[in-house]
Amino acid sequence: MVFFLSFVIFLIGLYCVITKKNLLKIVMGIVIMEYAVNFFLVLLGYRKAGVAPIVVEGARKANFVDPLPQAMVLTAIVISIATLAFIVAMCIRIYEKYHTFDVTEIRRLKG
Amino acid sequence: MNIIPLFIAIPLGVAFVLALMGKAKEIACDLVANGATFCLTVLSLVLLALIKDNQVLVYIMGKWLPPKGINLVLDGLSILMLIVVNTIAFFATLYSVSYMKRFTAKHRFYSLFMLMLAGMNGVVLTGDFFNLFVFLEIASIASYALVAFGVEAEELEASFKYMVMGSVASILILFSVGLLYGLTGSLNMADIGSIIQGKKNLLLSFSLVLFLAGFGLKAAIIPFHAWLPDAHPSAPAPISAMLSGVLIKALGVYTITRVFFNVFGMTLQLSWTLMILGVISMIGGGLLAIRQSDFKRLLAYSSISQIGYIMIGLGCGNYWGLLGALFHLFNHASFKALLFLNSGAVEYSTGTRKLKEMGGLSKVMPVTGTTSTIGSLSISGIPPFNGFWSKLFIIIGLVQAGHFVLTVLTILVSVLTLAYYLRVQRYAFFGTLKEKWAQIKEVPTPMCISMIVLAIICIGTGILFYPLMKAVFEPAVTVLQEGTKYSALILGG
């Protein structure tokens, strides 16, 4: 059920990217999609009443959560930060050139 | 010593060094960048001698054994891609020595270029899904920045469009990787391949669709192509050559073949999907190209059309189809890089990309004129040149598989290709020289050298196609034909 929720968030992000006209809203849509996927990855490793996967004396049969998705999410977050920083910088540059954030007015390329 | 990790380590290291070389002389940056790409080209050719009898070399990173850790895999297909990527990268850097003088901060340009190269080499070599995603992102982010390198209004707009579509593609791929991990509990391609063998599952099909959309966006097959005609013309010419010649193939076509053939295994539906997407791209790209008046934009649409050819060959799935597709991939890299470098040379001398403003440029720029004629004839498939053989192989494959309608369409689009390239030649290079271009000169020597060598490659592979086919393409075709035996090969050995 929770997996379904992450998919819904993903679709909200996609909707935002496709329909919004403001550059920054499109960026927000991308970020929402990224968070939905990160959320999904974290959920994959979740175990009910799980504990941190640290092997100590007597904890052999403990219900460990899966650490691999957490490592993946960390990497994905770092990558998405890089993309976000770059994309926002690009938005600022575009605003300097076109004096608008409206994608319908940023259309010099055609054909 | 194992040389596989060098393909990722050298460009990454050089990128870092170059980023610090802001105060150094320009010539030093040129030397470092060209030296690095030259080394990589030589190394990729050395690999050919290293591998015999369709062996697979596996490099295990940090001593973590394959199903758990990350491994780099070198087989016939990877070698083919490494040769293509690194050779074109070398000619692009050589060309940049003179071409990039117009821009400031050349060291940053080279630094981003090397990052992109590291990402592409990584994508081609990796045997792990999450690692694939990471390298894919490295290459993509560097390419977004390179498209916007001129920071003019149009370039920024193109880069933004590219970035939005590219980010969506990356997220789709990450989603799919997560889904596969949830289903199989593994990230290793070979391991996943052996686990999902013969299983049918709705979620598996869903992850397949996500992969198709994600990699399709990177490869710019037609329903996903909207970013390409803006991004490729806006980039500086050597980058256009890299993007069109190599990036869409390494990030798009290669990943599609690897994931579909070696991990999921081809099915009838999948091969039809690839063929239909291929036909749409081939025809659509061709029709859109014919009415362009901007030189580079025409080349960009033509790339979409040629990617369609490759997809059809892959979808066809028999020996000749696959051979044709991979040969066309190699050829397209050589002549499309050449044509983009030509367009850059024209822009360098005249300052325009509008075809109608040019005319008779062959007289003042003989090298550019001759090489672009060779490139145009190759891409249209005129017999002695390399484009002819690859298109012929794809057509033989289609006839063998009994797809006669597709055969006819493929031949027709080939004629269409000839039509729009003749148009380029007539407007830009033949005819009477216009008054205002009488004073212009041929471009500087490094640019000439890289164009001439690429033209020689176009002719050479056309004439010597048979030994090349045996040495380079057959091992790659074998990898694809063996399909899902891939996992047994890697986990076993």
CA distance B264 to B129: 13
Q: What's the confidence (pLDDT) of residue A58?
A: 65
What per-residue confidence (pLDDT) applies to B63?
Answer: 79
Amino acid at B103: F
- Residue B118 neighbours by CB under 8 Å, 6+ apart: B8, B11, B12, B15, B135, B138, B139
The residue among B135, B130, B188 whose CA lies nearest residue B8 is: B135
A93 interfacial to chain B (CB closer than 8 Å): yes
What would the pLDDT profile of B67-93 be if each residue is shown by its tens digit? 778 889 988 899 999 999 999 999 999
Helix (H) or strand (E) holding A77: helix A67-98
Distance CA B339, CA B97 (A): 18
B53 pLDDT above the threshold of 80: no
Closest C-alpha among A109, A107, A74, A83 to residue A27: A83
Classify residue B152: in a domain, yes or no: yes
Parse chain A into domains and list their residue ranges.
2-47+64-98
Contact check, Cβ <8 Å, B160/A23: yes
In this prediction, residue A60 carries a pLDDT of: 61
Domain assignment present for residue B202? The answer is yes
| Residues in chain B within 8 Å Cβ distance of A40 | 175, 178
> Which of B168, B174, B229 is closest, CB to CB, to A76?
B174
Can you give the pLDDT at residue B478? 87
Report d(CA B436, CA B160) in Å as an integer: 35
Q: Mutating which of B137, B171, B294, B353 best tests the A interface, going by the most A Cβ atoms within 10 A? A: B171
| Structural domain boundaries, residue B209 | 6-492
The predicted model gives B216-223 an average pLDDT of: 90
CATH 3.40.50.11540, applies to A2-47+64-98 = no
Asked whether the beta carbons of B235 and B243 are under 8 A apart, the reply is: yes
Percentage of chain B surpassing pLDDT 70?
Answer: 99
Q: Which range among A105-109, B58-62, B244-248 has the greatest average pLDDT?
A: B244-248
Residue B234 lies in a domain: yes
Q: CB-based contact (8 Å) between A37 and chain B? A: yes
**Statement: residue B443 has pLDDT above 90:** no
Note whether A79 contacts B145, CB cutoff 8 Å: no
**Each residue of A5-18: pLDDT tens digit?**
999 999 999 999 99
Which residue is listed with tokens 């550059």?
Answer: A23
Answer yes or no: is pLDDT of B177 > 60. Answer: yes
CB B394 within 8 A of CB B325: yes
Give the nearest chain B residue to A35 (CA atoms).
B171
pLDDT at B352: 85
**Taking CB atoms and an 8 Å limit, are A41 and B178 in contact across chains?**
yes
Q: Are B230 and B161 in contact (CB under 8 A)?
A: yes
Residue written as token pair 């053989």: B389
Summarize the confidence of residues B431-438 as an average pLDDT. Answer: 81
Cα of B455 to nearest chain A Cα, Å: 29
Distances (CA, A) of B44 to B11, B38, B91, B117: 13, 10, 15, 13
What percent of chain B is modeled with pLDDT above 90?
58
B265: left (phi over 0), alpha (psi -120 to 50) or beta: left
Residue A111 pLDDT level (bands cut at 50, 70, 90):
low
Supply the ipTM of this predicted assembly: 0.93
Residue at B89 is within a domain:
yes
Closest residue in B to A106 (Cα–Cα): B157
pTM here is 0.93
Residue type at position B98 = S
Between A and B, how many CB-CB pairs are < 8 A?
87
Q: How far apart are CA A33 and CA A28, in angstroms?
A: 9
Q: How far apart are CA B112 and CA B96, in angstroms?
A: 13
The whole-number average pLDDT for the span B333-353 is 91
Q: Which residues are within 8 A (CB) of B235 and not within 5 positions of it... i.e. 6 or more apart?
A: B146, B147, B149, B155, B158, B243
Is the pLDDT at B493 greater than 60? The verdict is: no
Whether B479 shows a pLDDT value over 90: the answer reads no
Q: Given this model, what pLDDT does residue B42 score?
A: 94
A97–B156: do the CB atoms touch at under 8 Å? yes
A53-110 pLDDT tens trace? 777 776 666 678 888 888 899 999 999 999 999 999 999 999 999 888 888 888 777 6
CB contact under 8 A, B178 and A69: yes
Model confidence band, residue B480 (pLDDT cutoffs 50, 70, 90): confident
Report the alpha-carbon distance of residue B272 to residue A10 in Å, rounded: 29
Nearest to B387, CA basis, from B377, B372, B395:
B377
Residue B36 pLDDT:
95
Q: What is the pLDDT of residue B223?
A: 87
Residues shown for chain B: 493
The phi-psi region of residue B282 (left if phi > 0; otherwise alpha if psi is between -120 and 50; otherwise beta) is alpha
Least confident of B56-60, B89-93, B154-158, B448-452: B56-60
Which pLDDT tens digit goes with each residue over B365-391?
889 999 999 999 999 988 888 999 999
Over residues B266-316, the pLDDT tens digits come to 888 889 999 999 999 999 999 999 888 899 999 999 999 999 999 999 998
Q: Mean pLDDT across the stretch B165-188?
A: 92
**Closest among B214, B138, B143, B168 to A30, alpha carbons compared:** B168
Size of chain A in residues: 111
Residue A86 is nearest to which of B141, B181, B229, comparing CB atoms? B141
Please indicate whether, in this complex, the C-beta atoms of B157 and A90 are within 8 angstroms of each other.
no
Q: Total domain count for chain B?
A: 1
Is residue B336 within 8 Å of B458, Cβ to Cβ? no
pLDDT at B155 over 60: yes
Mean pLDDT along residues B157-168: 92
Smallest Cβ–Cβ distance between B157 and the set A69, A87, A94 belongs to: A94
Residue B1: what pLDDT? 57
| pLDDT for residue B429 | 86
Selecting from B141, B158, B175 the residue whose C-beta is nearest the C-beta of A37 gives B175
**Which of A28-42, B184-198, B431-445 is the least confident region?**
B431-445
B211: pLDDT strictly greater than 90: yes
- Alpha-helical regions (H) of A2-66: 2-19, 23-45
The CA distance from B197 to the nearest CA of chain A, in Å, is 22
B336 within some domain: yes
